[in-house]
């Protein structure tokens, strides 16, 4: 019998015992829905975590430090040159790193504690450079005002606790400060940064010297950010941010300049840390390798994400297993329905065999019935799973909103999951149909015809 004939007859048979077959199909739908719901939760959470990490700029960042910096608590590279023989992290190194395939930009991590004057009152805090490419960073989510107008604009973004300090508000924890309240009186106002400019004098290698001159730089406050000073992102440990290019041009004295004082032979700075931004997170590993070969230490968040990916793979596996349990129960329902159908249609099977049906035809017919229930149940299940997911997502967001958190989309039903659920439901149904189909095919036609 041709496949479409099997399918047509199967559909007719299924319509005949519509209540029983609908209930069996509903069982499959519930099984598939639970599988889809579980897996979409896992996928959604993974996507949310990945998105957060990627947009935070941690994923596409490689931190480069000199091997000469022995203060680092990170493990020193054992391969390559020894610390004393390793190259300086200077402008030449920066250009070299820029040429490593996959690198988007390289900029130094500039941070120093300095005095800032606002309303004629001095305030001491940590100032940091912020790359112009951080404009789209997720870490600036919720910022009041705007980002820098250019890479060297005389503008500043302040962290909200520092903003509160500038306004003379009593000291509070970061959670108690309302960003909108502190940003309104500050945006557009001027703040003056006092800093120590480092100027090299003399070019003799053995009598290196430099002078330090105090300078003042007026800056316009353009933004107030929520960035937590203790967050894991390096520059966020500061409380006032100025454009990276502007800060570089100031030649402001850095803490590590003292360490390299004995080697300062020119006005060219030697950096403590360079930040290499890569074109995409997938390039981070190869970029890291390339920079290590130059004799520098590197660090990226990639190692941490590896364990995160492994965690989500295990989570998805367990969620999938739990989701599949309901489908297993549903598959028993299919077996039960088809075995009942064989008992009821025993004589009919005998007649079909008497008029020329082969074992294969009978088997195919029951397979088609199982498969049809699987596909129908799968399709309903995907829709049901999607609805359940959306409702839970909606409900959870209402809860998050009441708790003062922004809405999140932690539920994802990608197309591959829809396809996977349908194919999986179909295959599970076919496997469930194996026993009943074999039993129907093996029926003795003479006995079947005698059956009343």
Residues that bind other proteins (CB under 8 A): 1-2, 5, 9, 12-13, 16, 347-348, 351-361, 445-446, 449
Whether 239 contacts 36, CB under 8 Å: no
CB 339 to other proteins: min, Å: 20
CB atoms within 10 A of CB 71: 9
56 alpha carbon, distance to own chain's centre: 10
* Rg from Cα positions in the chain: 34
Cα angle: 173, vertex 178, 180; to 5 degrees: 150
Tell the smallest beta-carbon distance from residue 371 to other proteins (Å). Answer: 18
- Phi, psi angles (nearest 5°) of residue 103: -85, 130
CA 302, 303, 308 angle in degrees (round to 5)? 90
Task: Measure the CA–CA gap between 189 and 120, rounded to whole angstroms.
Answer: 13
CB nearer other proteins, residue 383 or residue 449: 449
Compute the distance between CA of residue 361 and CA of residue 365 in angstroms, rounded to an integer.
6
Which is nearest to 149 in space by CA: 200, 188, 113? 188
Whose Cβ is closer to other proteins: residue 233's or residue 347's?
347
Q: Minimal CA–CA distance to 372: which of 14, 19, 32?
A: 14
Beta carbon of residue 340, minimum distance to other proteins (angstroms, whole number): 16
CB of 21 to other proteins, least distance (A): 13
Q: Which of 170/356 has CB closer to other proteins?
A: 356
Question: Is 12 or 263 the residue whose CB approaches other proteins more closely?
Answer: 12
Nearest approach, Cβ of 363 to other proteins (angstroms)?
11
Length of the chain: 452
Question: Do residues 408 and 400 touch, judged by C-beta distance below 8 A?
Answer: yes
| Residue 152: closest CA among 131, 134, 137, 136 | 131
Residues 410, 40 contacting (CB under 8 angstroms) = no
Q: Which is nearer to other proteins, 216 or 344 (CB)?
A: 344
Beta carbon nearer to other proteins, 140 or 352: 352
Question: CA torsion 95→105→152→266, rounded to 10°?
Answer: -20
Query: Residue 350 or 377: which CB sits closer to other proteins?
Result: 350
Which residues is 243 bridged to in the sheet? 130
Q: Indicate the helix (H) or strand (E) that contains 329.
A: helix 302-344
Least distance CB 369 / other proteins (angstroms): 14
State the nearest-atom distance from the C-beta of 19 to other proteins, in Å: 15
Nearer CB in complex with other proteins: 173/356: 356
Q: Which is nearer to other proteins, 105 or 361 (CB)?
A: 361
Partners of residue 128 on adjacent β-strands: 111, 241
């Amino acid at each position: 019998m041709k496949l479409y004939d099997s399918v047509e007859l199967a559909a007719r048979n299924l319509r005949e015992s519509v209540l029983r077959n609908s209930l069996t199909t509903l069982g499959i739908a519930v099984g598939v829905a639970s599988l889809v719901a579980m897996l979409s939760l896992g996928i959604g959470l993974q996507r949310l975590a990945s998105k957060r990490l990627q947009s935070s700029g941690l994923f596409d960042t490689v931190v480069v430090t000199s091997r000469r910096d022995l203060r680092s608590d990170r493990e020193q590279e054992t391969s390559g040159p020894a610390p004393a023989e390793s190259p300086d992290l200077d402008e030449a190194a920066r250009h070299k790193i820029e040429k490593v395939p996959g690198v988007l930009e390289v900029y130094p991590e500039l941070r120093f504690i300095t005095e800032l004057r606002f309303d004629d009152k001095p305030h001491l805090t940590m100032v940091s450079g912020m790359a112009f490419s951080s404009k789209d960073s997720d870490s600036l989510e919720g910022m009041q005002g705007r980002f820098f107008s250019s890479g060297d604009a005389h503008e500043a973004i302040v962290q909200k606790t520092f903003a509160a300090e500038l306004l003379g508000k009593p000291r509070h924890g970061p959670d108690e400060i309302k960003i909108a309240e502190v940003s309104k009186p500050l945006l557009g106002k001027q703040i003056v940064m006092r800093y120590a400019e480092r100027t090299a004098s003399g070019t003799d290698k053995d009598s290196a010297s430099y002078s330090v001159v105090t300078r003042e730089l007026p800056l316009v406050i353009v933004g107030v950010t929520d960035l937590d000073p203790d967050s894991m992102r390096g520059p966020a440990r500061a409380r006032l941010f100025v454009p990276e290019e502007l800060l570089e041009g100031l030649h402001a004295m850095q803490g590590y300049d003292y360490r390299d004082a004995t080697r300062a032979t020119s006005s060219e700075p030697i950096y403590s840390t360079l930040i290499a931004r890569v074109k995409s997170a997938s390039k981070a590993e190869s970029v890291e390798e390339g920079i290590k070969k130059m004799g520098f230490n590197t660090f990226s968040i990639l190692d941490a994400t590896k364990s995160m990916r492994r965690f989500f793979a295990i989570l998805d596996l367990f969620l999938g297993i739990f989701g599949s349990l309901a489908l297993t129960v549903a598959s028993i329902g299919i077996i039960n329905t088809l075995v009942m159908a064989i008992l009821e249609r025993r004589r009919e099977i005998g007649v079909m065999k008497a008029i020329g049906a082969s074992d294969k035809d009978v088997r195919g017919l029951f397979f088609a019935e199982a498969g049809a229930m699987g596909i129908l149940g799968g399709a309903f299940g995907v829709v049901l799973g999607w609805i359940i997911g959306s409702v839970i997502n909606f409900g959870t967001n209402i809860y998050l909103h009441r708790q003062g958190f922004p809405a999140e989309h932690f539920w994802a039903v990608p197309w591959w999951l829809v396809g996977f659920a349908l194919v999986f439901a179909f295959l599970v149904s076919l496997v469930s149909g194996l026993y009943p189909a074999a039993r129907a095919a093996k029926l003795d036609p003479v006995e079947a015809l005698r059956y009343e």
